[in-house]
Chains A and B, each alone.
Chain A
Amino acid sequence: MEIYYLTIKEAIGGLKKKSFSALELTKACLQRIKLIDKKLFAFLTIDESRAIEKAKEADRLIRKSTEAFRTKPLLGIPIGLKDLFTTKDLRTTAGAKIIKDYIPPFDATVVRKLKEAGAIILGKTNEDAWGHGSSGENSDYGPTRNPYNLDRVPGGSSSGSGAALASGECLMATGTDTGSSVRLPAAFCNLVGLKPTYGRVSRYGIIAMASSFDTIGHITRTVYDNALALEVTAGNDPYDATSSSIPVLNYASFLEKKIKSLKIGFPKEYLVEGIDKSVEENFYDTIKIFEKLGAKLKKVSLPHTEYAMACYYILVPSEVSSNLARFDGIRYGGERNLFGAEAKRRIMLGTYTLSAGYYDAYYLKAAKVRRLIKQDFERAFAEVDVMIAPSSPSIPFKIGEKIDNPLQMYLSDVFMCPVNVAGVPALNIPSGFIEGLPVGIQIIGPHFKEELLYQVGSAFEQETKFYQIKPEI
């Protein structure tokens, strides 16, 4: 197998044994980008010369001692960063034209941590502008394509991160998840994607979408790689007052634990109208695999599910309209008419729901419903350890299929947004293929129980190994 398709675990093994160097690994990814990214458009900016310089630096450290991996667990691993991640001296656009020439003077906390852990930053990945979208088509620079079928969307908003990783352009990519944006591209690209608990990972320096929903996650090929990366990114940050002080665990150590007798719930409200028959069948097959592994499956109820999307599409645009008010063309970026259609729509909607006379009817009402939805999850987790649900009600859809109907596009996240409303963590893992296209399920856990998601995800991955199926591109 080509080295750009290695898992992080395998790549670190190879680097330690000197089977290849960090420079060779980095060059293999850069070469891959040159070869195929014209078809995919996963990257907006490539930082080739700095990546090569950092890779040489990593090789010097590895030559000195393989103990270097103790303090730098991602040493020599080439990664892509979603373009919402602020990177010092490297163009950061949020997928939006209004800040097409913005060169930040500082690093996001997560970027600093990834650099300190030795990761090699190849560049910035394409995305729905500002994180607004489920398909990647809302990028002001053009859509990213799904490596498994170029006519299909890769899922969004972290569309470039999903496509880049699935096609071997990097070994890991970061994402943000406000309503689906890490999990959906992971599901549509046969990858493992984490939406951490709200506050588990610092938001400092991540261009804000909806500040009470935004979570900072990442996409990897395997559950182990994902756990390893969270050990790097998680933790309290004095620059983000909502980041949690709950200790960061050695997440990778939970992967070998059996899931026998673990109670896994599945919300009955998610298996009703609107879900593709083939996706439903895939989900029931998934349930059988978990039963075979000894877990106890149980139907649970999230009674306010029907209202979750309406709640989400009041609160999130409200916060969006406030966060995007800072783009005034004075300190950086251009004039406000340069916002794309979706950003304008959300600014308008949020301004409406926050405006005089409508605040009580919309924003306050939704903030109350948010409590009811959070309580639904708490009650469910009193009965079961984790829940599973399909990640998307459909297989990856065609580019252009939903672009003219914003409401239909919003509803493609119907199984995911409730998780962000409640602030709980969820992990997408691959659950197979339908018509040659990847589909995924999400494992949802109580607040700050990421280790449980990894334990359950790893057991399923060991049994199924869907991650080994690569796209033909």
Chain B
Amino acid sequence: MKKKIILTEDEIKHIARLANLPLTQEEINKFQEQLSEVVDYINKLNKINTDKVEPIAQLTDLVKVYKKDIQSSERSLTQEEASKNAKAKKNGFIKTKSIFNL
């Protein structure tokens, strides 16, 4: 059976950019084929009429879950704990790439 190519190469590149995923050309080619096959499969939902069905977001009938607005020392991390896994640090702060002037 010939595989349907539903997603174009440009679409794959666009999705990768939205997802902040650097892909190699090899990955782009592979994902174009594999994701097209999966998208073709999930398109079968179009066969069901859902005009009168409300979407559902949660399953166990919870309503309005609140928590007390108090500071919990149990869950607080020290600056050292919170930053200990960061690769780039300066003066106890986490260094990031510049986000302005890109």
Contacts and interface: CB of A to CB of B under 8 A. Distances in A.
A336 B22 contact: yes
Nearest to A246: B60
Given A105-B84, A349-B35, A351-B15, A238 B67 contact: yes
B50 A347 contact: no
B70 to A, nearest CB: 10
Interface string A316-340: 0000010001001111111111010
Contact of B55 (A321, A335, A364): A364
A370 B48 CA distance: 12
A351 B18 contact: yes
Interface in B23-44: 23, 27, 30-31, 34-35, 37-39, 41-44
Contacts of B85: 101-103, 105, 331-333
A245 to B, nearest CB: 9
A105 B53 contact: no
Nearest to B78: A105
B83 to A, nearest CB: 8
A45 interface: no
Interface string A403-417: 000110010000000
Nearest to A105: B81
Contacts of A368: 50, 53-56
Nearest to B66: A241
Contacts of B46: 365
A423 interface: yes
Interface bracket on B: 35 or more
14 contacts: A212-B59, A242-B65, A311-B45, A313-B38, A313-B42, A325-B20, A329-B87, A351-B15, A351-B18, A352-B35, A366-B42, A370-B55, A371-B54, A371-B55
Given A311-B45, A371-B54, A345 B60 contact: no
A339 B21 contact: yes
A344 B82 contact: no
Contact of A345 (B34, B57, B67, B84): B34
Interface in A184-225: 197-199, 212
A332 B37 CA distance: 34
A362 interface: yes
A372 interface: yes
A345 B48 contact: no
B29 to A, nearest CB: 13
Interface of A: 101-103, 105-106, 197-199, 212, 238-239, 241-242, 244, 304, 306-307, 309-311, 313-314, 321, 325, 328-337, 339, 341, 344-345, 347-349, 351-353, 355, 362, 364-372, 374, 406-407, 410, 422-423, 447-448
B22 A313 contact: no
Interface in B46-102: 46-48, 50, 53-60, 62, 65, 67, 75, 77, 81-87, 94, 96
A83 to B, nearest CB: 16
B59 A374 contact: yes
B50 A310 contact: no
A313 B42 CA distance: 7
A91 to B, nearest CB: 11
B82 A105 contact: yes
Contacts of B77: 105-106
Given A339-B21, A371-B55, A348 B15 contact: yes
User: Which of B19, B46, B55, B57 counts the most chain A CB atoms within 10 A?
Assistant: B19
B22 A423 contact: no
Nearest to B14: A355
A138 B81 CA distance: 31
Contact of A355 (B18, B27, B41, B45): B18
A304 B42 contact: no
Contacts of B23: 344
Contacts of A349: 35, 38-39
Most A Cβ at <10 Å: residue of B12, B35, B55, B60:
B60
A365 B50 contact: yes
B60 A447 contact: yes
Given A198-B60, A199-B62, A348-B31, A407 B37 contact: yes
A37 B21 CA distance: 34
Given A349-B38, A423-B59, A330 B94 contact: yes
Contacts of A351: 15, 18-19
Contact of A423 (B27, B41, B60, B75): B60
A-B CB proximity, top 4 nearest: A423-B59, A367-B55, A332-B85, A105-B81
A13 B57 CA distance: 45
A325 to B, nearest CB: 8
B5 interface: no
Contacts of B62: 199, 241-242, 244
Contacts of B35: 345, 348-349, 352
Contacts of B7: 352
Nearest to B51: A368
Contacts of A311: 45
Contacts of B81: 105
Contacts of A309: 41
